[in-house]
Amino acid sequence: MKILYICNEYPPHKHGGIGSFTRDIAEGLASGNQDVTVWGLYDTIPTEVNEKINDVKVTRVPFPLVKSRFKHLFFIFILNLKLRKFLKEHTFDIIECQEWQGLLPVGINHPGFVIRLHGAAVFFDKLLNRPGNRLMHWLEKRTIKNANNIVAVSDYCGKITLSLVKTHKKYTVIYNGVNKTKLNRFKEANYVRYSIVFANSVLPKKGVLELAKAFNLVKAKFPAATLTIIGKLGYQENGINIEDLIKKKIDPQGLPNVTITGWLENADDVFHQLAGAHICCYPSHMEGFGIAPVEAMALGKAVLFMKNGPGPEVIEDGISGILANCANSCDIASKIITLFEGKMDAGYLGVNAEQRVEKFFDLKNVFVPNNISYYRKILSIED
């Protein structure tokens, strides 16, 4: 199959979750002998760039940076104009784009046109009770309504998003995958007792402030407890940066046991930190899926995740991890303390977590085959 992914943040350029996802699926399918291309607009390049990265053909098209309140509309107009020109010159069996930012509000007249629901602005704004941008919401809704085929990264994300869009279209759930083979080399037999590690975007919506408050309760019970927070520290609230917001939540006597590393350029360093943790905590307020906790599960770690949203799809509570009310720091602390007291076995949770990743979330053996099977199905190609 010839597959096209539309992505404006493909690595190694500056990217977020969409860029990482697109790299993983593109390289995974390319390694399975699929013909994969990634196309997108970039305001950081003067001329078009065509390159091949790990068997994936990448086309980066220049886009002039515009300072205007209507810059996103202009971006979408140019993207659709240039994309349609590109599609006249190249043919594909599958054309896929995410719903976030509503990049294709008029759709694409193509039987293999797929929109993947990762968690759009309309999804997060509603569930996190944020006003959001009405234009962005409208563009995302139009993009979803004009999709021929819809994939969701979790059943929760699919169900809630389509209810907000007010469409009865069907969707297929394909969970995101992690490269378990790559992560295996970071696994460690031992861990630092009473150590808590958070490695994710350091934002209030990721529950980092609730985790900081929970740490006070944990440390009162276990004085040797430590908390390590890993991730970019760019967020500010009322002129106060996120690092200071976190420190304000922690009792002064607990601060020496807290390490806030900021962004670690080398991903290996992050995985080593996770591998040495007693528990890896991801107390998000909401996720479309949540790849970070799955990476820790693949390392055989005891993982705490959200009990709402897609949490129960990722973790079986008390079996392959721990689910908590992540809006409640007392509940987060209670679950961590239960583990530290030995009422739940970190080794037992870690073994089951790893097995669950192998069954549902492994990139090579589950995620890639599931996507190939789905693409073949919508193209009516017999296996």
**CATH code for the domain of 224:** 3.40.50.2000
Is the same domain home to 74 and 156? yes
| Among candidate residues 323, 319, 243, 316, the one with its CA nearest the CA of residue 281 | 323
> What are the CA-CA distances from residue 77 to residues 37, 97, 107 (Å)?
21, 16, 13
Is the same domain home to 197 and 268? yes
383 in a structural domain: no
| Among candidate residues 291, 290, 344, 340, the one with its CA nearest the CA of residue 321 | 344
Which helix H or strand E contains 249, and what residues bound it? helix 242-249
pLDDT above 90: residue 137:
yes
The structure tokens listed for 129 are 């009770």
Q: Region 281-285: what's the mean pLDDT?
A: 97
Q: Which amino acid, 23?
A: R
The structure tokens listed for 69 are 């309140």
Is the same domain home to 167 and 257? no
Is the same domain home to 120 and 16? yes
99 Cβ contact partners less than 8 Å away, ≥ 6 residues apart:
115, 116, 117, 118, 120, 140, 143, 144, 161
Tally of domains in the chain: 2
Is the same domain home to 203 and 333? yes
Which helix H or strand E contains 209, and what residues bound it? helix 208-221
Cis peptide before 46 (omega within 30 of 0): no
Is the same domain home to 262 and 213? yes
263 in a structural domain: yes
Q: Which residue has the higher pLDDT, 324 or 168?
A: 324
Q: Looking at residue 15, what is its pLDDT?
A: 79
β-pairing verdict for 113-117 and 236-237: unpaired
170 in a structural domain: yes
Q: Region 270-283: what's the mean pLDDT?
A: 97
The C-alpha atoms of residue 308 and residue 42 are separated, in whole angstroms, by: 36
Question: Are 2 and 91 a contacting pair, CB within 8 Å?
Answer: yes
Is the same domain home to 163 and 205? no
Which helix H or strand E contains 344, and what residues bound it? none
pLDDT above 80: residue 283:
yes
Question: Would you place residue 13 in the very low, low, confident or very high pLDDT band (cuts 50, 70, 90)?
Answer: confident
Q: Looking at residue 189, what is its pLDDT?
A: 83
Is the same domain home to 135 and 247? no
The structure tokens listed for 92 are 């594909």
163 Cβ contact partners less than 8 Å away, ≥ 6 residues apart:
none
| Among candidate residues 213, 204, 199, 208, the one with its CA nearest the CA of residue 301 | 199
40 Cβ contact partners less than 8 Å away, ≥ 6 residues apart:
6, 7, 8, 9, 10, 59, 60, 61
Tell me the DSSP string of 38-87. EEEEETT-SS-EEEEETTEEEEEEE-----STTHHHHHHHHHHHHHHHHH
Enclosing domain of residue 250:
180-360
The structure tokens listed for 206 are 């990721």
178: β partners = 362
- pTM, to two decimals: 0.94
Question: Would you place residue 383 in the very low, low, confident or very high pLDDT band (cuts 50, 70, 90)?
Answer: low
Q: Which amino acid, 103?
A: L
The tens digit of pLDDT for each residue in 18-59 reads 999 999 999 999 998 999 999 999 999 999 999 999 999 999
Is the same domain home to 166 and 193? no
Is the same domain home to 323 and 372? no
Question: Would you place residue 100 in the very low, low, confident or very high pLDDT band (cuts 50, 70, 90)?
Answer: very high
Is the same domain home to 209 and 170? no
44 in a structural domain: yes
The C-alpha atoms of residue 156 and residue 25 are separated, in whole angstroms, by: 21
Is the same domain home to 328 and 303? yes
